[in-house]
Amino acid sequence: MSVFPWVAWYALRRYTAYPLSSVAESVTNTAFAFMRAYVLLALWQARPALGGYDVTDAITFCFLTQAMIGPVQIFRGLELSDRIRSGDVAIDLYRPVGLQGWWLADDLGRATAELLLRSGLPMVAGMLVFTLRPAGPWALAAFALALPLAVLVSFAIRYLVALAAFWLHDDRGLQAIALVMSLFFSGMILPLVVFPGWLGGIARALPWAALIQVPADIYLGKRTGSDLVAALGFQAAWAVALLAAGALLTVAARRKLVIHGG
């Protein structure tokens, strides 16, 4: 049996070991969901049907994306960065399994734990106060595919940023840049549908759109038929491309470590 399911399982156990901490983070996400909701409510009252969304779509988008923060991991990088800085990555490289595969399995376990412990409260709270857009069975089924793809793209981006520490030695500046890009171009701050002209076109073509905007559009039923297939294909294509880039960069990083006597 492959070691990767065990890595994911132990990551799930590790990230569910302190449920009260996760509940506290969920409460924080919910509080920010209400703050964002009232900002979006004011915007959509001034500009109804902005970007093809109505008020209900905008509020649903707000609470849904707050529920996705944990699984998709918008605000944090990988522990791998710290291990590269400390030199503990040498232990990871001695394992008889691929570095990328190990950390991907670990991240999938983490994402499952975050989904179980952090994602429910924002949606329930939103339903109690506002009228949220209910997702149909087909939209829910498609969203169940889109969310794991979003996690894969998120991991691939964060893995590339973490590997940069092999060359930069201190990747905190790059981590800060990556955070800004993730917040702005994923739709976390504002739905990408409100971005005008060429900026909106570029934002929707970048990989960060696969993290939040695409899954949210699928949940809201904005992607159907061939457009839905294209949306899932967009996520899958970016996941494959970025994971392939991560595999190549892993080989380069391993060679660099050996060259420097690691």
* Cα–Cα dist 168/85, whole Å: 10
Q: Residue 108: name the closest of 240, 236, 4 by CA.
A: 4
The confidence score (pLDDT) of residue 197 equals: 87
The domain ranges of the chain are 4-259
Cβ–Cβ under 8 Å, residues 256 and 166? yes
The confidence score (pLDDT) of residue 232 equals: 96
* Cα–Cα dist 108/100, whole Å: 12
Which CA distances in Å does 211 have to 138, 155, 218, 232?
20, 10, 12, 12
Mean pLDDT of residues grouped by 10 in the chain (262 residues)? Answer: 86 89 90 92 88 91 93 86 82 84 94 92 93 90 96 96 84 86 90 90 94 95 92 97 95 68 46
Q: Residue 120: name the closest of 76, 58, 68 by CA.
A: 68
Cβ–Cβ under 8 Å, residues 106 and 4? no
The confidence score (pLDDT) of residue 261 equals: 46
Q: Alpha-carbon Rg of the chain, whole angstroms?
A: 19
The confidence score (pLDDT) of residue 257 equals: 58
The confidence score (pLDDT) of residue 260 equals: 47
Q: Which amino acid is at 40?
A: L
Q: Residue 141: name the closest of 192, 211, 215, 67 by CA.
A: 215
The confidence score (pLDDT) of residue 1 equals: 55
